[in-house]
Amino acid sequence: MIVENFKNLGAAAIASSVHAGDASPSDMIRASFQRAREIGAGPDALNIFLHSDEGASLEEADRARERLERAPDSGTLAGVPVAIKDNIASLGLPTTCGSRILAGYVSPFEATAVTRLRANGALIVAKTNMDEFAMGSSTENSAYGPTRNPHDVRCVPGGSSGGSAAAVAAGITPIALGSETGGSVRQPAAFCGVVGVKPTYGRVSRYGLVAFASSLDQIGVLGRTVDDAALALEAIAGFDRLDSTSSDAKVPIYRLSALGGTAPDPQSPDNEAIRLGRSPVPLPPPPGATTLRGVIIGKPKEYFPDSLDASTRDLCERALDRFRSMGATIRNISLPRSPLAIPVYYILAPAEASSNLARFDGVRYGLRVDPAKGLKAMYEATRSQGFGPEVTRRVLLGTYVLSAGYYDAYYKKAQAVRTLIADDFRSVFASGVHAIFTPTTPTPAFPVGAISDPYEMYLNDIFTVTANLAGVPAISVPIGRVRHLPVGGQIITAHFDEYAMFRVAYALEAGLGAEAHQ
């Protein structure tokens, strides 16, 4: 069977048709790979996939079909093809982090987030391209070549989860996993015109996510719609004994469709939760895709500087008007220490990376280059040939700021300013603001090769990195286009308030309708 219109199907619609017996998991896998071939997901075109095995995915689909025969209503993601960023460990396919140093490495264990996707019926189709060890904002730092933006192949898809964002934007999978340290899900989501979520630090287990900067890293989700992202986050969130930083806070149902509201995706059945036997968590206020009465949305002046791209500013103002028309109050606010976030982040993240990446030494796994001149020479040859230029730069930067004589001036100082940045968010949310709205990025996607200065590239994270430093959740939602390139708007809420984040995101998506992609 050929699944009609696969590239436009949401995850809930796919699961619904699989549950109803209208399509099988194998049909969905074949449709996904067919779409990947049509769009050119391979290295000679968009370069989205680093590793895939259609035969193995079809075998997994057969096993999923057998499970469905035993329990027909099981799995909120039954038969849904998903793509996984290549720094998230998966059984069966390699996990290389876009690096030569892990070329061909297949993990002996699997990330909890991937296991939970599979347990919910999802099917893994590919590991996706990324900036090496998630260090970058364009996916140009991959050892396996850059990924191209499906909306304009001359442009980058953003990064570091550029392959996952491109897979969703190209209609290969309705959802994908990415990871965030400073905006690596939301920024590519904005550049590719899809939805990207960074959950609260602790909301999703980091077990099996290859560590970059452990106090900042989080697995996030990308979806074609807000509903896709909500469904995916529900599946992977929650306590995991294998990650001591994961939270045991209860995971609410985020989907409006599951709570009886009206989801913007007309193919999502409203009664899905009832049919799947799940009880909605009673969280006030009652949801509604187009109602924001009583909701206060903060507009921080630091995120709308005079230098902001004029077209991006106009699209943000249109989104704010939609919020007002749905009953929300827009309040001008200030997050005064946000302009310090890039210097803070680019001290703390490289410092943590310099420690985390010490494990890649040619001894236990991955590449070994041995010039037969002793242990130290083996370390140096392995690491200098295994790591690319940006990883080398950041490891050295991190080593410098942690070294004797510079620790207090850089690392300790940055940790203190991080406290001030987090305090800004606490103050705003304590004042009654439910959600903060900002542009996700200062500009739309830029051409491949356009930015060569490292610090100029780092500035791509200027609106996203604060949420990582503060540990709060944030989502990027498409809010329109500049010429043909997508622009994202960002909604940030308080710790563990993904429910409010999704509610405002659903409203924005519904309020903009087709304008979100125009």
- Binding residues among 390-409 for another protein as defined by CB under 8 A: 392-393, 395-397, 399-400, 403, 409
Active site residue 376: no
**Within 181-210, which residues bind another protein (CB under 8 A)?**
201-202
Q: Pick the catalytic residue: 16, 57, 85, 161?
A: 85
CA dist 281 → 73, 128, 240, 286, 499 (Å): 20, 34, 21, 11, 11
Q: Say how far apart CA 86 and CA 287 lie, in whole Å.
A: 36
Instruction: Look at the block and give the residue holding tokens 């410098």.
Output: 400
Q: Which is nearer to another protein, 6 or 201 (CB)?
A: 201
Pairing of the two strands 296-300 and 435-439: parallel
Q: Say how far apart CA 33 and CA 21 lie, in whole Å.
A: 21
Q: Nearest distance from residue 188's CB to another protein, in Å?
A: 23
Span from 36-44, 102-110, 139-147, 427-435 in contact with another protein (CB under 8 A) = 102-110
Q: Which is nearer to another protein, 175 or 349 (CB)?
A: 349
Cβ atoms 383, 367 nearer than 8 A: no
Q: Any contact of residue 412 with another protein (CB under 8 A)? A: yes
Read off φ and ψ for residue 262, nearest 5 degrees. Answer: -105, 115
Q: Pick the catalytic residue: 137, 160, 164, 246?
A: 160
**Within 416-455, which residues bind another protein (CB under 8 A)?**
416-420, 422, 453-455
**Within 362-391, which residues bind another protein (CB under 8 A)?**
362-368, 370, 372-381, 383-384, 387
Q: Any contact of residue 248 with another protein (CB under 8 A)? A: yes
Q: Nearest distance from residue 258's CB to another protein, in Å?
A: 26
Using DSSP's 3-state secondary structure scheme, residue 222 falls into strand
Q: Pick the catalytic residue: 184, 205, 338, 476?
A: 184
Using DSSP's 3-state secondary structure scheme, residue 237 falls into strand
Cβ atoms 323, 330 nearer than 8 A: yes
Cβ atoms 128, 167 nearer than 8 A: yes
Q: Say how far apart CA 491 and CA 299 lie, in whole Å.
A: 10
Q: Nearest distance from residue 440's CB to another protein, in Å?
A: 21
**Within 308-347, which residues bind another protein (CB under 8 A)?**
340, 342-344, 346-347
Q: Nearest distance from residue 405's CB to another protein, in Å?
A: 10
Q: Nearest distance from residue 345's CB to another protein, in Å?
A: 10
Cβ atoms 136, 185 nearer than 8 A: no
Binding another protein (rule: CB under 8 A), the pick from 495, 501, 505, 509 is: 495
Active site residue 85: yes
Q: Nearest distance from residue 455's CB to another protein, in Å?
A: 5
Active site residue 299: no
Radius of gyration of the chain measured on its C-alpha atoms:
22
Nearest to 472 by CA among 503, 515, 512, 435: 435
Compute how many other C-beta atoms are within 10 angstroms of the C-beta atom of residue 390.
17
CA dist 492 → 238, 326, 330, 404 (Å): 20, 18, 14, 37
Q: Nearest distance from residue 252's CB to another protein, in Å?
A: 16
Span from 17-25, 43-51, 229-237, 463-471 in contact with another protein (CB under 8 A) = 463-471
Token representation of residue 361: 């030494």
Q: Any contact of residue 119 with another protein (CB under 8 A)? A: no
Q: Which is nearer to another protein, 311 or 415 (CB)?
A: 415
Q: Any contact of residue 250 with another protein (CB under 8 A)? A: no
Instruction: Look at the block and give the residue holding tokens 């689909």.
Output: 61
Q: Any contact of residue 307 with another protein (CB under 8 A)? A: no
Q: Say how far apart CA 204 and CA 202 lie, in whole Å.
A: 6
Q: Which is nearer to another protein, 37 or 109 (CB)?
A: 109
Q: Any contact of residue 351 with another protein (CB under 8 A)? A: no
Active site residues per annotation: 85, 160, 184
